Amino acid sequence: PARAAARAEKFDTAAIQRQDTAHYMHPFTDHQALGGKGVRVMVRGEGIYLWDSEGNKVLDGMSGLWCVNVGYGRTSISQAVYKQMETLPFYNSFFNTTNLPAVQLAAKLAEISPPRFQHVFFTGSGSEGNDTNVRMVRRYWDLLGQPARKVIISRHNAYHGSTMAGASLGGMDGMHAQGGLPIPDIVHIGQPSYLESGRGMTPDEFGVAAAGWLEQKILEVGADKVAAFIGEPVQGAGGVIIPPATYWPEIQRICDKYGILLIADEVICGFGRTGRWFASELFGMRPDLITFAKGVTSGYVPLGGVLVGDRVARVLIEQGGEFNHGFTYSGHPVACAAALENIRIIESEGLVDRVANDTGPYLERRFAELADHPLVGYADSCGFVAGLNLVKAKAAAVHDHELFDPALEVGMVCRGHMFGNGMIMRAVGDRMIIAPPLVMTRAQIDEMVALIRHCLDLTHADIKRRGWV
């Protein structure tokens, strides 16, 4: 009934926009610019589609914000949430107390993750998960009598959240420039972007070379001062940067060589996005800690956390005493109930396997075809995350393509055509990226690829008119 009512409801978009401008401070938003344009109001979702307040239907190529893995409108999740709210909407896990959904979810996560993960620390978000990591790895080394091991190595252009530690771990210059970041003892190395830095090498050669930057940094900092290395298996917000196959095994070898903990930030990559429950499994990583959020509940309610591997869990539990860390909403019963139902859906519909063996390879093939478009210099994907690069003129080798002047913001022009024509595709510079809901069918992949191609044509015509090509 709620959904039928929403379908019939009429909205006064201009009034909502005025109210929004007057009161709502949005994340990562220039409000002066937004106020001039007027915000888009999303009112409803069903499967892979959204509807805005003007009645426009949109294909959501970004799963909300990389999170709505099972698609919109899943009644069984709303029912699980309702039932939990009716029985026990909240209780904390602090004072020798637990709640049923939190225990059951912890056990379920231990079951679906690699065997060495038997423990879970719950948070409310991915950022809080990464803050937890910083405190947990430093606590681990303190307990082992190596308190000098404080430094965490991350990568330029990484995204690990917006809290003080999350934004410090991240490698976004624009974020570091605001608020005095990074906090001490967090350093960065280059990202494994073959397009950006792989000239003159094969992808596999470049993967080993880029991993070598970690060893250089460890030696520069001093191995006895390094606590951990953190990375997204596939960088998401940085522009869907898919590393060469040689990269993670070499990173793993280097971490092992110096005894450094490896943290996989799987906030985007987890819960089936790459055709595995966790992308670490796909890339040959053996992380000690895994950050998760987003896909754990498909975004229906906020939940995040850290999967704690045996190496760290044993020290914390057997010799750690109290870990002075935790959130009011650690193990929130309603969020955990949503996660349990979400994971049940992923399992019962075989979504991880579908992305690995059916729709993922199909998307990869169809998406790669876009590289024949005059504007597209490079298109690649990994499971249900993909990106393409807009270029001014194509050459035989990817490193020789002529790029647009970044000041033209061609990616944003393209994004405008996408949004205006019913397709949500995000721009990171001149790279256009997608991360569609895992429920997307082959027919819907065809529909999406055709829509993207149509919008690329519109972009091409537009920038020709502007004299940019």
* Segment contacting ligand PMP by CB under 6 A, of 125-133, 319-327, 384-392, 453-461: 125-133
Q: At what angle do helices 442-465 and 359-368 cross, to 10 degrees?
A: 20
Q: How far is the CB of 145 from ligand PMP (least distance, A)?
A: 31
Residue 125 in the binding site for ligand PMP (CB under 6 A): yes
* Torsion of Cα atoms, 256 then 261 then 267 then 273, to 10°: 20
Neighbouring C-alpha atoms within 13 Å toward the C-beta of 106: 19
Question: Segment 128-147, which members bind ligand PMP (CB under 6 A)?
Answer: 130
> Considering only residues 160, 273, 417, 426, which one is a binding residue for ligand PMP as defined by CB under 6 A?
160
What are the φ/ψ torsions at residue 426 (nearest 5 degrees)?
-95, 150
- Closer residue to ligand PMP, CB minimum distance, 160 or 401: 160
Do residues 264 and 133 make contact, with C-beta atoms less than 8 angstroms apart?
Answer: no
Residue 338 in the binding site for ligand PMP (CB under 6 A): no
Residue 427 in the binding site for ligand PMP (CB under 6 A): no
CA-based nearest residue to 137, from 230, 265, 252, 235 = 230
CA-to-CA distance for 424 and 427, rounded, in angstroms? 10
CA-to-CA distance for 437 and 385, rounded, in angstroms? 10
Residue 430 in the binding site for ligand PMP (CB under 6 A): no
> Considering only residues 61, 243, 304, 360, which one is a binding residue for ligand PMP as defined by CB under 6 A?
304
- Closer residue to ligand PMP, CB minimum distance, 17 or 154: 154
- Closer residue to ligand PMP, CB minimum distance, 66 or 404: 66
Residue 159 in the binding site for ligand PMP (CB under 6 A): yes
Q: How far is the CB of 152 from ligand PMP (least distance, A)?
A: 14
Q: How far is the CB of 175 from ligand PMP (least distance, A)?
A: 12
- Closer residue to ligand PMP, CB minimum distance, 303 or 432: 303
- Closer residue to ligand PMP, CB minimum distance, 267 or 370: 267
- Closer residue to ligand PMP, CB minimum distance, 291 or 444: 291
> Considering only residues 268, 370, 414, 433, which one is a binding residue for ligand PMP as defined by CB under 6 A?
268
- Give the 3-state secondary structure of residue 304: strand
> Considering only residues 47, 64, 126, 287, which one is a binding residue for ligand PMP as defined by CB under 6 A?
126
User: Do the strands 117-123 and 49-52 form a parallel or antiparallel pair, or are they unpaired?
Assistant: unpaired
Q: How far is the CB of 160 from ligand PMP (least distance, A)?
A: 5
Residue 250 in the binding site for ligand PMP (CB under 6 A): no
CA-to-CA distance for 2 and 411, rounded, in angstroms? 37
Beta bridge partners of 57: 51
- Give the 3-state secondary structure of residue 153: strand
CA-to-CA distance for 242 and 362, rounded, in angstroms? 18
Report residue 428 as tokens.
């990171």
Q: How far is the CB of 304 from ligand PMP (least distance, A)?
A: 6
The H or E element containing residue 347 is helix 333-348
- Closer residue to ligand PMP, CB minimum distance, 271 or 404: 271
Q: What is the largest CA-CA distance in the chain?
A: 68
**Helix, strand, coil shares of the chain as percentages rounded to 5?**
45, 15, 35
Nearest residue to ligand PMP by CB is: 126
Q: How far is the CB of 125 from ligand PMP (least distance, A)?
A: 3
Residue 387 in the binding site for ligand PMP (CB under 6 A): no
Q: Which residues contact 324 (CB under 8 A, 6 or more apart)?
A: none
Residue 237 in the binding site for ligand PMP (CB under 6 A): yes
Residue 232 in the binding site for ligand PMP (CB under 6 A): yes
State the burial class of residue 335 (Cβ atoms within 10 Å of its Cβ: 0-12, 13-18, 19+). Answer: buried
The H or E element containing residue 296 is none
CA-to-CA distance for 83 and 89, rounded, in angstroms? 9
Residue 265 in the binding site for ligand PMP (CB under 6 A): yes
Residue 161 in the binding site for ligand PMP (CB under 6 A): yes
CA-to-CA distance for 150 and 186, rounded, in angstroms? 8
* Segment contacting ligand PMP by CB under 6 A, of 3-11, 92-100, 144-152, 265-273: 265-273
Do residues 211 and 198 make contact, with C-beta atoms less than 8 angstroms apart?
Answer: no
Q: How far is the CB of 216 from ligand PMP (least distance, A)?
A: 24
Q: How far is the CB of 27 from ligand PMP (least distance, A)?
A: 8
Size of the site for ligand PMP (CB under 6 A): 15
Which residues contact ligand PMP by CB under 6 A?
A: 125-127, 130, 159-161, 232, 236-237, 265, 267-268, 293, 304
